[in-house]
Amino acid sequence: MEFNNAQRAEVLINALPYIKKYNNKIVVIKYGGNAMVNEELKKSVMRDIVLLSLIGIKVIVVHGGGPEITEVLTKMKIKTEFKNGLRVTNRETAEIVQMVLSGKVNKDLVNLIGNSGGNAVGISGVDCGMIEAKMKDTELGYVGEIINIKTNLIRDLLEKNYIPVISTVGFDKNGNIYNINADTAAARIAGELGAESLVAMTDVIGILEDVNNPDTLITKVNVSYADRLIREGVISGGMIPKVECCIEAIRRGVKKVFIIDGKIPHAILMEMLTNEGIGTMFV
């Protein structure tokens, strides 16, 4: 279907209240892993982000990159073991994780944003000592637990109207580096900055009452209800840590948190700039 210009204008003007609502507010977008299914989609998401930035929203992108890490490790013939869904990370692997996240995934996103006309700056948790971490569990090796977040660099970049794109690598004072879960880091960064919203782009459409039935999407939950959904097993498996990060973000003062399906084109615009969301909103 094609739109004519009058229809286009109509749509634009209908976005006015949403644009107004987010004007000059900080929005953290968690993107990565399974939502980065192909190049076309990645380009499209980055273009959405440029739009958000241009219409006056202070956007921060926090990304993961599990599949890309696995791909490079495979090419380098390094075996990865997982424990409870977490990658066991020795020093060599940690370095490869950093290399892939900060040198490949991060710069790809930065470059795509640039090609759509945005001003992105790709940084990581080691830049300017942003994410200080420690070992969580010696069996997992350099999988980091965040012990401190310094947001001065992010604030300085936002002040100058750059879009910070952050790879979630942490450091400690002994010079070690850590693989940090991107959902956790995004929640913590959003909390520290008093963000208006955290948008977690995943590959599911949100929280489903019946995981096999997309019509059972829960469009809005509050923290205590989400807690209960976990206890009752409605939320299970890989969704549990994601939902816990959402809850954590709300607890740390983020106004609204969304889980949306990053595979849907312009999911983020639909969620933020139209009258009905498309995923699950935490309040």
Report the residue number, 52 or 243, with the smaller CB distance to a copy of itself: 52
116 binds a copy of itself (CB under 8 A): yes
**Which of the stretches 123-131, 189-197, 203-211, 238-246 binds a copy of itself when contact is defined by CB under 8 A?**
123-131
- The DSSP string of 130-151 is -EEEEES-TTTBSBEEEEEE--
Query: Buried b / exposed e across 177-188, counting CB within 10 Å, b at 16+?
Result: bbbbbbbbbbbb
Residue with tokens 């700056």: 121
Centroid of chain to Cα 67? 15
Task: Spell out the residues 6+ positions from residue 4 whose beta carbon is closer than 8 angstroms to its own.
Answer: none
147 binds a copy of itself (CB under 8 A): no
Q: Amino acid identity of 127?
A: D
Please identify which residue in 81, 139, 156, 210 interacts with a copy of itself, judged by CB under 8 A: 156
User: Rounded to whole angstroms, how far apart are CA atoms 225 and 129?
Assistant: 36
Please identify which residue in 29, 217, 278, 281 interacts with a copy of itself, judged by CB under 8 A: 278
**Which of the stretches 25-33, 73-81, 204-212, 238-246 binds a copy of itself when contact is defined by CB under 8 A?**
73-81
119 binds a copy of itself (CB under 8 A): yes
Helix-helix angle 66-75:91-100, to 10 degrees: 120
- In whole angstroms, the minimum distance from the beta carbon of 122 to a copy of itself comes to 5
Report the residue number, 177 or 249, with the smaller CB distance to a copy of itself: 177
Residues 175-234 that bind a copy of itself (CB under 8 A): 175, 177
Task: Spell out the residues 6+ positions from residue 43 whose beta carbon is closer than 8 angstroms to its own.
Answer: 112, 115, 116
Select from 60, 88, 96, 45 the least CA-distant residue to 249.
60
Number of residues that bind a copy of itself (CB under 8 A): 76
First-to-last CA distance in the chain?
Answer: 36
91 binds a copy of itself (CB under 8 A): no
Residues 3-62 that bind a copy of itself (CB under 8 A): 3, 5-17, 19-20, 23, 44, 47-48, 50-51, 54-56
106 binds a copy of itself (CB under 8 A): yes
Residue 124 tokens read as 């990581």
Report the residue number, 124 or 197, with the smaller CB distance to a copy of itself: 124
Report the residue number, 238 or 265, with the smaller CB distance to a copy of itself: 265
Report the residue number, 161 or 216, with the smaller CB distance to a copy of itself: 161
Please identify which residue in 140, 198, 273, 281 interacts with a copy of itself, judged by CB under 8 A: 273
